[in-house]
Structure 1
């Protein structure tokens, strides 16, 4: 069943054409992810499909009687209302009946009003909906219904807007970056909700795991054309590569034919027959195909990075509190060369505060932070780029210099650097205020990188970036030789670029986990499974243990059938394995040194082999003790 049809729509702003003659349909139960580069009009297209804007040409036809709900990137909520008032003012008739019933419950002395509200609940069969309503609010952690919207954080506002949308139970849901401002727990809940519910979705998101796990179709807008892939994100990547290879082959053939036809054209006299005129027309068509260029500009960042010394960044007994809220308590850590740390945790657990303490933007309450003399921070914050009225894109970069130093003594001009960040010559002379949100983020990243940092700190760098730019950013960060600390809710991004995590659990608990995000989720799943088994075996005793806060992976209390000495050995093995994993990473990095002699390579290989053997031996003993513990 077709819900909505987009027919030959176009949209321009002045001389800038976002898209032209776009057509597609949305059918019941489809879950479509829309993919395109920043600045090509993704948000504009969503607004047109949702009926919030009109196209310059063409039309959008929706099926009569269907309801369409739209979730924008930044929710538009009345700041004077409370959470409860916002939900009940959404226009949903059943919600209004529930609101009247809950109000009547507060004034039971008015039996007539209570009976009227009760009868209305019965007539509308609103009891099940009330249960669903409360479940959604609980899952979205909207507990204090009296809290005013103007006091909510960005993540809380996004959750409230989601609650309103889901409770309205629309036929078609249109989402613009639904995971922005949500923490990982909320993202995973929303992902599961969309997977299991019979909803029809049309969304733009940079979260590739979300595309992978929720969508059953990917639609890509590229060079003004739409390409549809009947599958999830992995299917899209595979088939896009095949399409690109086919296009490259076709272009190569067209070039060969063009050369042949060009020779013929040059031999032709001025007087042309009808037959030759037809061939001339064909020539120009071949020429157009032969000169078609894929506009895939790959950002090739070769920024010259100053070498880091032996002392980089050290935290010694660092504490930070805001009133009764303690974010850090006696935190200790010494950063090593090439560290790649991802930071995860719920909103409000202190992630951004931690970054600000790292850079000196915020002093700790207790303890001290020591920064090495050679450290040069590059700090990308959530605030984004400061826009000066009337400033052009090229002028932003030229504030840092007309030329940027690269490796091997080479330089690159500000304009060339912008081209590598996917800003063509025409775009460089656009005013910054005209850029899309994603383009501004890309420009901001450019201003951070060109300052030649050797310690990168990125706070939610993936928000508003398109999939193409994300791949470019990931490739750069994989090659970046300095230290890297990233706060991100993009699980795909984190899995690709970090090798261990700081998990902010709240109450000043920061867990150092040796692995990426997927490793951590697997570990947590194993722990939860172990707790479940213990619960079944031990009943009330295990129930008490599960209710306690989960301890660090290094501090778990081991019981079972282990002796006291075996428990000590089990804990010690965990510490030793974690250290060996770090030693392995450091040893592998030595092979990147191009100046190593053959003898040094041989010696390093032997040392690496010994580390790997030690890891295998200790892991085998750890599993042996773990199995005994669960008997």
Structure 2
């Protein structure tokens, strides 16, 4: 429970909790009961990465059966042994992990398309027969007519081809000057969210903002967008910058009235509001098709949209205005996997501007962000050159190293305490029974020197590692330093154990 509810007093009332905190409490309550069947609907929403990783381990070790609905592809890969796919009115079963499901789905779609293609070829021949068919119909003719209509159904059941959909209209040109911060500080209600931040964002940057929950990642996006003024320092923005901001907050009923404008709510259609944002209907239709709204759905009344569709429309309205800087705050919350995939493809192949993204979705971050800005408690921001998964791997290695060091210190303290207790109880008896040989004395003397040298080497490596991390050096270089540090730690532990063993005999 404490792993899922960090920094939350367990005796506090949930009345004043945020929606995300309440979701954590509900999830913790479900896990504590150890049920026979666990139903989880988007459990990773509002959880930070460490909580998600903890939950993955907890579910893998659980004896409960589980049915899970989630957009988190890495979470699916690590927790599920079978995937049920709901598609075009059918349910398809895929044994294995999520990656196996993707392979199986692609194979199924290819087989379905082959059936459709064969039906289309056969239909050409049958259509010609229907045109030449005599008016007098025999039983055999009627059977062939029925077969013709069956072929029409199969041939028309194919999926629409995904075209290379580009937004053709003029985009806002992004100049060489984007946005720069110098000695930026932001303090609110006594808490520092940004401290002495100096950074220049450049054209083509794809940056992920990461850090623990509550550290102020969404607040940083507000500052970047100019919606929250700095307490100190400066924010310098280029003249051609146009910011599109996809917010974490969802859409309520009042949103429908705002986007419908003067149009009566009964008549307001999806195509109308997207066209109004995009400037023309062609671009609106391209966007709608790209993000899972086929043409027949594009003319649906706004009031008939589902909650998930409203979130997609929120994203579309941001993209339709053709910004050259895109801020994405937890875009994977409430968006399905096909929409996330479409967004990833759009950002990779079509969007040429700057992207800043806050997300706990590891798969999405790995696809979109090439560099990370790590926001720490107290407002310090550090750069990491690499993907989100690489950062998490390094962070876990650092935590493991710190844990091993803590364990080593406790072991050394306990051994020293045991030596003192043994010496007090036995006096010098043990020393008379067992003495160090000349070779062991030399070893004992050299061990002290070696441990001091290794300790200095460890401090040097730790300094190099901290500098490399702060400077955003390549992941491979940082991992190599961390590996060397781990080897030095292991050598210090082994030599310290031997030194304590010899000291116990010498001081016995």
Scaled by the length of structure 2, the TM-score of the pair is 0.78
The counterpart of 2:457, out of the listed 562, 565, 569, is 562
Distance 1:533 1:624, change over 3 A: closer
Q: 1:626 to 1:493 in 2, by over 3 A?
A: same
Aligned residue number for residue 269 of structure 2: 392
Q: What residue ranges of structure 2 are gaps of 5+ in the alignment?
A: 415-452, 492-508
Q: Corresponding residue for 1:357?
A: 223
Q: Distance in 2 between matches of 1:498 and 1:308?
A: 19
- The one of 499, 512, 515 equivalent to 2:370 is 499
For the 8 Å contact 1:191–1:213, the answer to whether it is kept is yes
1:607: which partner in 2? none
Indicate how the Cα distance of structure 1 residues 172 and 295 shifts in structure 2: closer, same or farther if over 3 A, else same. Answer: farther
> CA 1:542 to 1:345, structure 2 compared with 1: closer, same or farther past 3 Å?
farther
Pairwise CA distance, 1:241: 0.7
Q: Output aligned runs, 1:203-352, within 5 Å.
A: 203-295=68-160, 297=162, 300-302=165-167, 304-352=170-218
Correspondence list, 1:515-534, <5 A: 515-534=386-405
1:139-178 equivalences under 5 Å are 139-141=4-6, 143-178=8-43
Contact 1:573 1:622 in 2 (8 A): no
**CA offset at residue 266 of structure 1?**
2.1
Per-residue displacement from partner, 1:125-175 (whole Å, max 9, x unpaired)? xxxxxxxxxxx2454237423433231122211111112222333322222
Deviation at 1:183, TM superposition (A): 1.8
Q: CA RMSD in A?
A: 3.0
Q: 1:569 to 1:395 in 2, by over 3 A?
A: closer
**Conserved in 2, the CA contact under 8 Å of 1:574 and 1:622?**
no
Offset at residue 474 of structure 1 (A): 0.7
The Cα shift of 1:364 comes to 1.0
Q: 2:336 & 2:461 partners in 1: Cα distance?
A: 51
Point out where structure 1 has 5 or more consecutive residues left out of the alignment. Answer: 1-135, 405-411, 544-557, 582-614
Using a 3 Å threshold, how does the CA distance of structure 1 residues 333 and 466 change in structure 2: closer, same or farther?
A: same
1:454 to 324, 329, 336: 324
Runs of 4+ in 1 over 6 A off after TM superposition: 540-543, 563-577, 618-621
Aligned-partner Cα distance in 1 for 2:459–2:61: 46
* Closer/same/farther in 2, CA of residues 147 and 190 from structure 1, 3 Å limit: same
Query: Is the counterpart of residue 484 in structure 1 residue 355 in structure 2?
Result: yes
**More deviation in 425-434 or 206-215?**
425-434
Does the Cα contact within 8 Å between 1:207 and 1:492 map onto a contact in 2? yes
Cα distance, 1:494 vs structure 2 = 0.6
C-alpha distance 559-518 of structure 1, shift in aligned 2 (>3 A): farther
CA distance in 2, matches of 1:195, 1:436: 33
The reply on whether 1:511 has 2:382 as its aligned counterpart is: yes
Task: Report if aligned partners of 2:3, 2:54 keep a CA contact under 8 Å in 1.
Answer: no
Mark the CA change 1:476 to 1:622 in structure 2 (over 3 Å): closer, same or farther: same
Q: What is the deviation of 1:435? A: 1.2
Distance 2:461 2:32 in 1: 53
Give how far 1:540 is off: 7.3
- SS of the residue corresponding to residue 370 of structure 1 reads strand
Q: Which residue of 2 aligns with 1:433?
A: 303
The within-5 A match list for 1:186-205 is 186-205=51-70
| Structure 2 contact 244–319 (Cα < 8 Å) conserved | yes
Q: Residue 224 and residue 623 in structure 1: after superposition, are their counterparts in 2 closer, same or farther (change >3 A)?
A: closer
In 2, Cα distance between the equivalents of 1:202 and 1:571?
Answer: 42
Question: Residues of 2 paired with 1:619 and 1:402: CA distance?
Answer: 48
Larger helix fraction of residues: 2
- Higher alpha-carbon deviation: 233-242 or 495-504: 495-504
Q: Does the CA contact (< 8 Å) of 1:312 and 1:335 recur in 2?
A: yes
Equivalent position SS for 1:387: helix
8 Å CA contact 1:308–1:454 kept in 2: the answer is: yes
Work out which of the residue numbers 50, 53, 71 in structure 2 matches 1:185.
50
Task: Give a deviation string over 1:169-227, Cα, whole Å, max 9, x none.
Answer: 33222222111122222222222211110111222211111111111111111111111
Counterpart in the other structure of 1:403: 280
Asked if the contact 1:531–1:542 (Cα under 8 Å) also holds between the matched residues in 2, the reply is no
Mapped contact 1:379–1:457 kept (Cα < 8 A): yes
CA contact (8 A) 1:570 1:625 kept: no
- Cα displacement (A) at 1:446: 1.0
The answer (yes or no) to whether the contact 1:299–1:422 under 8 Å persists in 2 is no
- The answer as to whether partners of 1:317 and 1:331 remain within 8 angstroms in 2 is yes
Question: For the residues of structure 2 that align with 1:183 and 1:573, how far apart are their CA atoms?
Answer: 25
2:202 and 2:390 map into 1 onto residues whose CA distance is: 22
| Kept after mapping to 1: 8 A contact 2:278/2:320 | no
Distance 2:272 2:166 in 1: 20
Task: Give the 3-state SS of the residue equivalent to 1:319 in structure 2.
Answer: strand
Change (3 A) 1:244 1:271: same
One of 362, 366, 370 as aligned partner of 2:232: 366
Find the residue that maps to 1:140 and give its secondary structure: coil
- Alignment partners' CA distance in 2, 1:353 and 1:163: 27
SS in 2 for 1:486: strand
| C-alpha contact 2:275 2:283 (8 A) present in aligned 1 | no
Structural mapping, 1:50-89, within 5 Å: none
For the Cα contact (< 8 Å) 1:327–1:350, is it kept in 2? yes
Structure 1 residues 542, 291: closer, same or farther in 2, change over 3 A? farther
1:292 & 1:624 partners in 2: Cα distance?
Answer: 56
SS at match of 1:399: helix
Shift of 1:574: 6.2
Residues 322, 498 of structure 1: alpha-carbon distance in 2 compared, 3 angstrom cutoff: same
In the superposition, relative to structure 1, how do residues 443 and 568 fare at CA in structure 2: closer, same or farther (>3 Å)?
closer
How far the C-alpha of 1:428 sits from its partner, in A, is 2.8
